[in-house]
């Protein structure tokens, strides 16, 4: 793509091999996921890969996966956020409270307006919390681990205060659609068509830009093959979920967020600086990168994502409870590590974390279908996490 | 010294996938001598040392290593074993626990214990005895992070000796030391020799071989070129054997024409940012002309690095004095502020302060200057690649692919990446803190050429260096620092090593050195 000196002996084949090897880690994960699917499909006599279960499986991963989208960047900069589970839980409790107790008395019968207001309020609370937490971590320089651990306890207490120990129903019309609804099949196809068009559009604009700056373009066949492969994935996914009830609303929300943050992480100063800070803080500082403001922004983004996650949670579960979001932070963190994010910071992708989250969800879903007791589900989850990261470390060492 | 051989390499060959790092290497080292090993980066020095330390275990290479008359057979992962055999390595990067005392560090992993409890009295008395035996001027109770680099290295050597090292390998021991510390190290090595310890001495500073070693082995492209008593060699023949071609000069011909004064520092004082009662810069004045290279000489700890970091806005709190660039006051509050005003700094330690090693060369080059390519929602990656590529080409960074990780490059090429990064911000004043530290002769020459070209383009360069020959060879003027003050600035025609050393150590006979007029 950008050989500094032309290497004429590089054939199409060696080039493909080189690129494949570069992304080995991500492919390993995808392969691992397919192996898990195959295994459960065989063990459950095919019901695991039915359209219905496939649809559910993706839906189940959304709440923690939305947290993972931001967690990747937090970990990449060398931080951690232990408060995300309880923050999303707190927001879900607020959303439920607003739904049941507040909006209906102010705007009677306005279910759509109520759902919109609850969502805005939830996201607002999350963002505000992110601002406070980010300020303390970035500008007052208290380690993220300590601040977020404290926040976790604080939020746990606030959840009890808000719920007064009771369960609050959040199953009102419209609001339920956020986490439980599906898009009609025709709308699903329109979205699929738009994505396909966008993928081709991106491919051609990227080639045009490269040409404008005088770079030799990769063979069109390779770019086309790549683009067609992703188009097939998208079309295949839409076709399969349409065979059940359509694209799941929460999955759509997750996809939009994941793509947006993934793009930001690679194509904006904010994202690039985050990776530089995590890779070498001192070098980043001496390069004139404003570390404090970058970390501040990342925690705001994390708070925003917790807001979305909390609203989806309330809608998906249908009520706000005292246990809301408990332990989800660890699932979100585990998804990042499964997806190849380095514990030391500096490395990790949103895409990897999404695959990590999907692997976790696939595992839990499969074990549930097989009626494995929840105690053993934990055991399996733990073993898979450690083995997966072990494999990852081993592969990196032998690269 | 006898002809008794302690270590012999016999036809040692080590291949990595496709690359031969060592090919048929044979030479022997006599007991009790100081044996220098020299060669350019990539000549195979570190591979050889990794075989001796057990990083590449027995069977991983072809040929034999005979140690004390027996074949050395280190198993996989047996770095401890090498130490037990009496082979110890002092690495370029020091490996001490900064919060431990000297004694704790020396006996780390082999603390004298009784019933599982450490006998501290014994530990410290043995440490004292060891330090006294080799005339090392370090206090056993000092916490390591309070020591200077020179003393840290002494501690490291003492640590190796505490294991009863028969062979001590020193990998570029002087790269971080100032002249006076090097002198101390040389004395310690002479002391070791008297006690019968054999030393293998690896360095890029050629004059040191003539100061200290008894014989020298030269490696080139993984092969032994020559093993010879040092007496029979001189710098020219050494360089000729190393690079395999005639090198006429250590420094390239420059055609620098310094212009008008562009950068002025007047009576600068600055405080330690962590302790505002301590002054770390106690009065520095100098000026810098367009297209000029100003060398800053001084001992380690004379405030050189503190000064340039303060000029770059990243260290001291300025409490007095002025900095002016093109007649305007410079606000040195942070790196980004300094960059915006046209000041760049190539930091001293490229791995710690210059590079994000795990990221691509491209990302490292563009890291400090994304503003150039970024709009709110997008980085123009094609423009980024184009400009980085142009820089990489003009500095001749040796890589096939800018997407390769920075840590895949050799030290010299890594340094070029750091320089590229700072050139991208199009500085008016480029500060280079020890730009050729740990870089081989050939690449050093290239860096010097780059510096010349930049100066010819009108960039004003400030170069710190611990290597006086380099300072004299590359500078138009030399500013000497002593105890956090600028002592004086010499025109290069008036400067020589003796004069600079005298000024840097505060022992100048002429207490009022003539100031240069510029």
pLDDT tens-digit series, residues B12-53: 998 876 567 788 899 999 998 999 998 876 678 878 888 888
Task: Give me the residues of B, 450-489, that contact A with CB < 8 A.
Answer: none
Mean pLDDT of B311-317: 87
- Residue B517 pLDDT > 50: no
Average pLDDT over residues B52-80: 82
Average pLDDT over residues B265-269: 93
pLDDT, tens digit, for every residue of B444-470? 888 999 999 999 999 999 999 877 888
Mean pLDDT across the stretch B333-348?
90
Per-residue confidence (pLDDT) for residue A317, from 0 to 100: 93
Backbone Cα Rg of chain B: 24
Contacts of B335 in chain A (CB under 8 A): 285-288
Q: Cα separation of A305 and A311, whole Å?
A: 10
Residues 168-187 of chain B whose Cβ lies under 8 A from any Cβ of chain A: none
Global pTM reads 0.80
Nearest to A209 among B352, B382, B393 (CB): B382
What's the pLDDT at B184? 87
User: How many separate helices (H) and strands (E) can be counted in chain B?
Assistant: 16, 22
pLDDT at B513: 44
Residue A26 to residues A22, A155, A315, A330, A396, Cα–Cα distance (Å): 9, 35, 32, 21, 12
pLDDT band of A171, cuts 50, 70, 90: confident
Answer whether A18's CB lies under 8 Å from A9's CB: no
- Residue A24 has a pLDDT of 64
pLDDT-derived band at A276 (thresholds 50, 70, 90) equals very high
Under DSSP, the state recorded for A344 is T
pLDDT of residue B239: 79
CB contact under 8 Å between A4 and B371, yes or no, is no
Domain spans, chain A: 20-181+248-397, 183-247
Half-sphere exposure of B463 (CA within 13 A, CB side): 33
3-state secondary structure B163-225: CCCCEEEEECCCCCCCHHHHHHHHHHHHHHHHCCCEEEEECCCHHHHHHHCCEEEEEECCEEE
Which token pair is A76?
A: 């990449």
User: What is the rounded end-to-end Cα distance, in angstroms, of chain B?
Assistant: 54
Taking an 8 Å cut-off on Cβ atoms, the answer to whether A4 and B397 are in contact is yes
Question: What is the C-alpha separation between A113 and B73, in angstroms, rounded?
Answer: 78
**Residue A141: is it exposed, middle or buried by C-beta count within 10 angstroms (0-12/13-18/19+)?**
exposed
| Chain A CA closest to residue B396 | A4
- Across A90-99, B268-277, B339-348, B387-396, least confident range: B268-277
Which residues in chain B have Cβ-Cβ distances shorter than 8 Å to A275? 356, 359, 363
Token pair 């002494």 is found at B154
Mutate to test the interface with B, among A288, A291, A297, A343 (most CBs of B within 10 A): A288
Tell me the fold of A20-181+248-397.
ABC transporter involved in vitamin B12 uptake, BtuC (1.10.3470)
Give SS3 for A290.
coil
Angle among Cα B394, B400, B402 to the nearest 5 degrees reads: 70
**Which of A4, A8, A260, A263 is the best mutation test for B, with the most CBs of B within 10 A?**
A4
Please give the residue that has the higher pLDDT: either A16 or B57.
B57
Q: What is the mean pLDDT of residues B264-292?
A: 89
Chain A CB contacts of B341 below 8 Å: none
**In chain A, which residues have their Cβ closer than 8 Å to the Cβ of B403?**
1-2
The nearest alpha carbon in chain B to A207 belongs to: B382
For residue B217, give both structure tokens.
């082995």
Q: What is the average per-residue pLDDT within B332-347? A: 90
Return mean pLDDT, chain A: 90
Closest Cβ–Cβ partner in B338, B383, B393 for A213? B383
CA distance B105 to B131: 13
CB contact under 8 A, B368 and A287: yes
- What phi, psi does A3 have (nearest 5°)? -60, 130
Residue B177 has pLDDT above 60, yes or no: yes
Confidence of residue A7 (pLDDT cuts 50, 70, 90): very low
Q: Mean pLDDT across chain B, nearest whole number?
A: 85
Specify the higher pLDDT residue, B80 or B350.
B350
ipTM more than 0.95?
A: no
Asked whether the predicted pLDDT for residue A293 surpasses 50, the reply is yes
Q: Which residues have C-beta within 8 Å of that of residue A396, sequence separation ≥ 6?
A: A25
Q: What pLDDT, on a 0 to 100 scale, did the predictor assign at position A398?
A: 61
Element (H, E) at B468: helix B468-474
Tell me the per-residue pLDDT of A228-244, one tens digit each, with 9 for 90 and over.
Answer: 999 999 999 999 999 99
Structural domains in chain B, CATH included, are 5-243 (3.40.50.300), 250-342+427-518 (3.40.50.300), 354-426 (no CATH)
- Among A103-112, B20-29, B245-254, B492-501, the range scoring the smallest mean pLDDT is B245-254
Q: Is B394 on the interface with A (CB under 8 A)?
A: no
Check pLDDT > 80 for residue A174.
yes
Nearest in space to A258 (alpha carbons), one of A216, A309, A295: A309
Residue B310 has pLDDT above 70, yes or no: yes
**Contacts across the A-B interface (CB distance below 8 Å):** 103
Q: Which residue out of A25, A212, A261, A287 would a mutagenesis test of the B interface target, given it has the greatest number of B Cβ atoms within 10 Å?
A: A287
DSSP H/E element including B485: strand B485-491
Give the integer Cα–Cα distance in Å for B443 and B457: 21
Give the highest mean pLDDT range of B369-373, B442-446, B502-506: B369-373
Task: Give Cβ neighbours of residue B123 (< 8 Å, ≥ 6 apart).
Answer: B103, B104, B107, B111, B112
Q: Which residue has the tokens 């983004």?
A: A301
Is B77 a residue whose pLDDT tops 80?
Answer: no
Is B402 in contact with A4 (Cβ distance < 8 A)? yes
């Amino acid at each position: 793509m950008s050989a500094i000196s032309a290497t004429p002996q590089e054939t199409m084949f060696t080039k493909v091999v080189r690129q494949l090897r570069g992304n080995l880690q991500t492919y390993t994960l995808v392969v691992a996921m397919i192996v898990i699917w195959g295994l459960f499909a065989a063990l459950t006599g095919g019901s695991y890969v039915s359209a219905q279960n496939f649809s559910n499986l993706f839906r189940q991963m959304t709440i923690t996966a939305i947290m993972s989208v931001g967690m990747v960047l937090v970990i990449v900069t060398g931080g951690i956020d232990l408060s995300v589970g309880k923050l999303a839980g707190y927001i879900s409790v607020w959303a439920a409270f607003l739904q049941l107790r507040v909006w209906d008395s102010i705007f009677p019968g306005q279910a759509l307006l109520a759902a919109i207001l609850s969502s805005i309020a939830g996201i607002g609370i999350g963002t505000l919390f992110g601002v406070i937490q980010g300020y303390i971590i970035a500008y007052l320089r208290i380690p993220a681990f300590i601040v977020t651990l404290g926040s976790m306890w604080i939020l746990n207490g606030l959840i009890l205060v808000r719920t007064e120990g009771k369960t609050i129903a959040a199953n009102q019309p419209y609001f339920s659609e956020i986490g439980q609804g599906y898009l009609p099949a025709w709308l699903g196809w329109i979205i699929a068509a738009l994505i396909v068009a966008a993928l081709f559009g991106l491919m051609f604009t990227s080639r045009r830009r490269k040409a404008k700056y005088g770079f030799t373009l990769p063979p069109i066949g390779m770019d086309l093959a790549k683009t067609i492969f992703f188009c097939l994935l998208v079309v295949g996914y839409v076709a399969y979920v349409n065979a059940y009830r359509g694209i799941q609303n929460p999955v759509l929300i997750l996809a939009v967020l994941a793509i947006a943050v993934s793009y930001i992480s690679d194509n904006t100063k904010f994202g690039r600086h985050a990776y530089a800070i995590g890779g070498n803080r001192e070098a980043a500082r001496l390069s004139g990168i404003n570390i404090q403001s970058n970390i501040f922004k990342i925690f705001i983004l994390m708070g925003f994502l917790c807001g979305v996650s909390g609203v989806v949670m309330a809608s998906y579960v249908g009520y706000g409870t005292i246990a809301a979001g408990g332990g989800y932070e660890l699932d979100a963190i585990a998804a990042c590590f499964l997806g190849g994010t380095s514990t030391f910071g500096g490395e990790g992708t949103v895409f990897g974390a999404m695959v990590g989250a999907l692997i976790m969800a696939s595992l839990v879903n499969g074990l549930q279908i097989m009626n494995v007791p929840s105690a053993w589900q934990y055991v399996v989850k733990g073993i898979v996490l450690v083995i997966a990261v072990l494999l990852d470390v081993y592969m990196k060492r032998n690269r | 010294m006898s002809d008794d051989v302690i270590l012999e390499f016999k036809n040692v060959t080590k291949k990595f996938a496709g690359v031969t790092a060592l090919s048929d290497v044979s030479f022997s080292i006599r007991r009790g001598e100081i044996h220098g090993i020299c060669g350019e980066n990539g000549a195979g020095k570190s591979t050889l040392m990794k075989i001796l330390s057990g990083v590449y275990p027995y069977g991983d290479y072809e040929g034999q290593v005979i140690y004390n008359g027996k074949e050395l057979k280190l198993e996989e992962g047996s770095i401890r074993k090498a130490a037990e055999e009496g082979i110890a390595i002092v690495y370029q990067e020091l490996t001490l626990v900064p919060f431990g005392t000297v004694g704790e560090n020396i006996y780390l992993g082999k603390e004298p214990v009784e019933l599982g409890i450490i006998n501290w009295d014994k530990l410290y008395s043995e440490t004292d005895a060891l330090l006294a035996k080799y005339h090392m001027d370090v206090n056993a109770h000092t916490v390591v992070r309070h020591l200077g680099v020179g003393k840290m290295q002494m501690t490291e050597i003492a640590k190796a000796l505490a294991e009863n090292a028969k062979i001590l390998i020193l990998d570029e021991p002087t790269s971080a030391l100032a002249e006076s510390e090097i002198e101390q190290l040389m004395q310690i090595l002479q002391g070791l020799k008297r006690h019968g310890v054999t030393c293998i001495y690896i360095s890029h500073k050629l004059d040191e071989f003539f100061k200290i070693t008894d014989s020298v082995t030269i490696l080139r492209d993984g092969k032994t070129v020559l093993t010879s008593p040092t007496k029979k060699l001189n710098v020219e023949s050494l360089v000729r054997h190393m690079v395999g071609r005639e090198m006429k000069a250590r420094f390239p011909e420059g055609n620098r024409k310094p212009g008008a004064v562009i950068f002025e520092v007047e009576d600068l004082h600055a405080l330690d940012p962590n302790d505002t009662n301590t002054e770390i810069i106690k009065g520095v004045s100098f000026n810098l002309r367009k297209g000029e290279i100003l060398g800053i000489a001084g001992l380690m700890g004379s405030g050189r690095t503190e000064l340039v970091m303060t000029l770059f806005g990243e260290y001291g709190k300025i409490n007095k004095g002025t900095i002016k660039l093109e007649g305007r006051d410079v606000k040195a509050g942070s790196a980004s502020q300094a960059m915006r005003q046209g000041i760049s700094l190539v930091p001293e330690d490229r791995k710690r302060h210059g590079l994000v090693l795990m990221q691509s060369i491209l990302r490292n080059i563009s890291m400090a200057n994304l503003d150039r390519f970024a709009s709110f929602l997008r980085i123009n990656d094609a423009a980024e690649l184009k400009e980085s590529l142009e820089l990489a080409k003009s500095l001749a960074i040796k890589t096939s692919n800018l997407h390769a990780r920075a840590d895949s490059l050799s030290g010299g090429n890594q340094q070029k990446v750091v320089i590229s990064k700072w050139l991208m911000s199009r500085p008016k004043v480029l500060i280079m803190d020890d730009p050729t530290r740990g870089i081989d002769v050939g690449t050093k020459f290239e860096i010097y050429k780059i510096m010349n070209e930049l100066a010819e383009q009108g960039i004003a360069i400030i170069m710190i260096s611990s290597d006086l020959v380099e300072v004299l060879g590359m500078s138009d003027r030399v500013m000497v620092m002593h105890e956090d003050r600028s002592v004086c600035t010499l025109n290069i025609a008036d400067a020589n090593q003796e004069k600079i050393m005298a000024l840097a150590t505060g022992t100048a006979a002429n207490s009022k050195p003539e100031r240069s007029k510029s």
